[in-house]
Amino acid sequence: MGDGKPLPFMFDTGAGTTMTQGLAAAYGGKVIVEALTAAGGGILAWSPLREYPKLTVGGTLTITKATGGEPWNAPGALHCVSPNGLLGASAMSNAVWQINYETKKITTAAAVAQLDHIKGAIEVPFVRGTGLSPTPHLQLGVGNGKLDFLVDTGGGIPLSINKADLAKVGVEIPKDTPTADNLAFGAGGAFASPMTFIELPIKLGDTELVVSAAVGEGTAPGANGNIGHAFLESFVVTIDYTTDIMYLEPLFEGSRAPQLNPPSSAGVMWANGKLIVSAVAKGGPADEAGLTVGKVVTKVDGKSVGGITIEDYCATIFGARHETVTTEDGKTYDASPVEGFYTRKK
């Protein structure tokens, strides 16, 4: 920010650029417009769109006169990833960005000719979302038609599809498919998002792939579905905003994308000063023992989490696998991964 020290920001093609009010006051310029913003969790809020004279990414790319909103107050688990804000699509729209999930590096360039991983990659044109965030939208072949998916590098989910839209292209969800009750966490806070998981043939440009997809309700407001990083991490992803083309170089062999990692029987997240159960895999041991989402957690792996702070949560709980969780009624549940979850019938 300006000439200040580097700060971590989430790289989020699914959102506009935004930052904390403190950073905006220190480094921002004039307010361009007051804007209405929407975020996962259903929140609508007025936010000033401010001009930032200078942003430097990775010590090499300087963005001048970038626009971004404020204030960013990272809710829940997002504080662990991005306490300062989001580097969103509005700051990316005049360059080429490449995300290599294998090497965990992001590279920016003026043209794709300056980058590797383009030759032989799957090439798909995209259109930009309207409004303040030019999020890339891809048209994918699904069932007997095409559906619109927004590309969301900030989303932790895989390829997800709204249930009603999937039905419109003639795809029926098989009975007894793997299902999880889930609380999703977006910029607007927590919201119920139960998911059913299926293997689905899709057409990505001229390439046919079989992928794991999550089917739910409201998975991508304003689109038919969402492409999150749990899908994108199987590719080297290049987003060329100069020509509106995406390049996807698979990091796997064949026409079947890697299966998702098995989910935990029970997941937890921090919410307003306490831990709550955020996910329960149907048919897993915690579900069969009666655990439901939303219950307050008092112990994780036998250790008390009473009075836990967001910093404690980020340091010891967030992103880790756990063996057990104990709720405030004193019951302890198996939270270990449910092996074979995506293949066994419920």
The two three-digit tokens of residue 266, written as one number: 């029970």
Q: 210: pLDDT confidence band, cut at 50, 70 and 90?
A: very high
Q: Are 244 and 139 in contact (CB under 8 A)?
A: no
Q: How far apart are CA 188 and CA 113, in angstroms?
A: 39
- 28 has pLDDT over 80: yes
Closest CA to 126 of 223, 43, 256, 260: 223
| Residue 108 pLDDT greater than 60, yes or no | yes
Report pLDDT for 39.
Answer: 56
Provide the b/e sequence for 201-219 (b: ≥16 CB within 10 Å): ebebbeeebebbbbbbeeb
Please give the residue that has the higher pLDDT: either 45 or 283.
283
Say what the pLDDT of residue 59 is: 85
Judged against a pLDDT cut of 90, whether residue 20 lies above it is answered with yes
Exposed/middle/buried for 8, CB within 10 Å: 0-12, 13-18, 19+? exposed
> CB atoms < 10 A from the CB of 345, how many?
9
Backbone angles phi, psi at 4, to 5 degrees: -75, 175
What CA–CA distance (Å, rounded) separates 17 from 10?
A: 10
Mean pLDDT of the chain: 89
Average pLDDT (61-78) is 84
Closest CA to 215 of 270, 162, 153, 278: 162
Domains and CATH numbers, the chain: 10-94 (no CATH), 99-250 (2.40.70.10), 266-334 (2.30.42)
Whole-Å CA distances, 156 to 86, 111, 227, 284: 15, 28, 9, 21
Phi-psi region of 205 (alpha: psi -120 to 50; beta: other; left: phi over 0): left
How many residues would you count in the chain? 346
Is 70 exceeded by the pLDDT of residue 197? yes
Instruction: Give the bridge partners for 10, in sequence order.
Output: 86
**Cα–Cα distance for residue pair 174/37, rounded to 1 Å:** 37
* Residues 5-31, mean pLDDT to the nearest whole number: 91
Dist CA 98 CA 232 (whole Å): 12
Instruction: Name, in order, each residue with C-beta under 8 angstroms of 197's C-beta and a sequence gap of 6 or more.
Output: 177, 178, 179, 180, 212, 213, 214, 215, 260, 341, 342
| pLDDT value for 46 | 67
When mean pLDDT is compared across 49-53, 75-79, 283-287, 320-324, the lowest value belongs to: 75-79
Structure tokens at 233: 């991490």
Q: How far apart are CA 166 and CA 225, in angstroms?
A: 9
In angstroms, how far is CA 51 from the centroid of its own chain?
26
Residue 165 CB: number of other CB atoms within 10 A?
20
For the chain, the C-alpha Rg in angstroms (whole number) is 21
- pLDDT over threshold 90, residue 96: yes
